């Protein structure tokens, strides 16, 4: 195992434990998390492995196989920079429960596709530290600890979905997560048994204004909730009455959030009925809502979705925050080549940068390797 060998070479002994945690993709439930709504991510086959041995002093030694060079040695947690902040942030959130540590990490999450490599790193390190120190944390506690590390130490205001998916997902399942109560359950999503694959289409485009637009959408939702007298848009029960009280962009945002929560519940209903092959229409509807009501799509995402459907996908939608990033398409395995050819041709015709294709089936959440 590469990460254990690298640990041994760098630190002179075998690691005490090795854990692996995956990245994730969100099947449906987009821009619902910060509205206290529902999401349905699944773990992808790519992730981060963390080899860890605790120390009795406060020294932290870190090695990443993706950042060649000598290990980083820190005498205080505040010295961490770059990728090391994600690992050290977890140590910081554990506070006095842990001292220092020797940590080596090795990841194969495709970069830039929006598959949450940072959450995978945090959850792998947190799981390994929990194991070697016998802290007895639950998977959700590990997810919350990892989210807090990213929020408070790294300074990224992410929701709980990425870390929860990495910590709690089961192979062949998607994770239904209520972002208010944090109640969760794994729902069977056995794509392989149905001859299906989820094709992740990385547009390789990331628009600069995405951060500002994301903050604007969030503010619009909070403003609409105040006007409607609800804690969050998840609490809107009479959509028609709510829309009558709003105008312009806020009206559109409410339409998306409320209907997207309904789509999550409808998709779970299909999965429970064993109708995996019929979820495509809900993916299509989600994309149209994100494009027209939430207005977070991009030309590259729209072309990917339309061309995938023309090429034989059962359904497709943008996934993630939007303004570039990735789309997903539900594709019969025997149509994978045709869908990829269709999307590639559509991109070439418009002069877009060639996309990257990543076929995936739901993988295992965080687990111990050694």
The two beta strands, 173-178 and 367-368, are: unpaired
Catalytic residue from among 36, 102, 130, 162: 162
292 as an active site residue: the answer is no
Q: Which phi and psi angles does 307 have, rounded to 5°? A: -70, -35
Q: Provide CB contacts within 8 A for 153, sequence distance 6+.
A: 85, 88, 89, 92, 93
Give dist(CA 304, CA 353) in Å, integer. 12
Q: Provide CB contacts within 8 A for 94, sequence distance 6+.
A: 126, 129, 135, 145
Q: Which residue has the tokens 């429970």?
A: 272
Cβ atoms of residues 41 and 179 within 8 Å: no
Q: Which two tokens stand for residue 243?
A: 């829309």
Residue 27, CA distances (Å) to 83, 126, 156, 242 in order: 27, 25, 23, 27
Torsion of CA 144, 145, 146, 150, to 10 degrees: 100
Cβ atoms of residues 133 and 36 within 8 Å: no
Give dist(CA 83, CA 306) in Å, integer. 36
Query: How many other C-beta atoms lie within 10 A of the C-beta of residue 1?
Result: 14
Give dist(CA 41, CA 275) in Å, integer. 18
Q: 114 — alpha (psi -120 to 50), left (phi > 0) or beta?
A: left
For the annotated catalytic residues, the residue numbers are: 162
């Amino acid at each position: 195992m590469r990460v254990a060998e690298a640990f041994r070479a760098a630190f002179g002994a075998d690691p005490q434990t090795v854990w692996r945690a995956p990245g994730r993709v969100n099947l449906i439930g987009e821009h619902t998390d910060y509205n206290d709504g529902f999401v349905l991510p699944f773990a992808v086959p790519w992730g981060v492995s963390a080899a860890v041995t605790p120390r009795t002093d406060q020294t932290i030694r870190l090695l990443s196989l993706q950042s060649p060079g000598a290990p980083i040695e820190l005498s205080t947690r505040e010295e961490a920079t770059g990728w090391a902040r994600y690992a050290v942030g977890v140590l910081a959130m554990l506070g006095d429960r842990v001292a220092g540590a020797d940590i080596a990490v090795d990841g194969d999450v495709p970069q830039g596709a929006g598959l949450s490599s940072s959450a995978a790193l945090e959850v792998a390190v947190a799981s390994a530290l929990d194991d070697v120190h016998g802290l007895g944390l639950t998977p959700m506690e590990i997810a919350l600890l990892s989210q807090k590390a990213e929020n408070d130490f790294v300074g990224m205001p992410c929701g709980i979905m990425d870390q929860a998916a990495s910590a709690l997902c089961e192979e062949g399942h998607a994770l239904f997560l209520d972002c208010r109560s944090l109640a969760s359950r794994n729902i069977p999503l056995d794509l392989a048994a149905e001859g299906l694959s989820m094709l992740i289409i990385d547009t390789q485009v990331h628009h600069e204004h995405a951060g500002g637009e994301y903050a604007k959408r969030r503010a619009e939702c909070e403003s609409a909730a105040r006007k409607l007298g609800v804690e969050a848009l998840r609490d809107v029960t009479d959509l028609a009455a709510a829309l009558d009280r709003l105008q312009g962009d806020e009206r559109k945002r409410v339409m998306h959030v409320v209907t997207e929560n309904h789509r999550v519940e409808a998709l779970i209903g299909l999965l429970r009925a064993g109708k995996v092959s019929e979820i495509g229409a809900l993916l299509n509807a989600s994309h149209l809502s994100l494009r027209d009501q939430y207005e977070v799509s991009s030309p590259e995402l729209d072309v990917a979705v339309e061309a995938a459907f023309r090429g034989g996908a059962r359904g497709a939608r943008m996934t993630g925050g939007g303004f570039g990033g990735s789309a997903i398409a539900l594709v019969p395995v025997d149509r994978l080549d045709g869908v990829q050819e269709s999307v590639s041709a559509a991109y070439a015709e418009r002069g877009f940068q060639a996309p990257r294709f990543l076929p995936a089936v739901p993988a295992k959440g965080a687990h111990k390797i050694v």
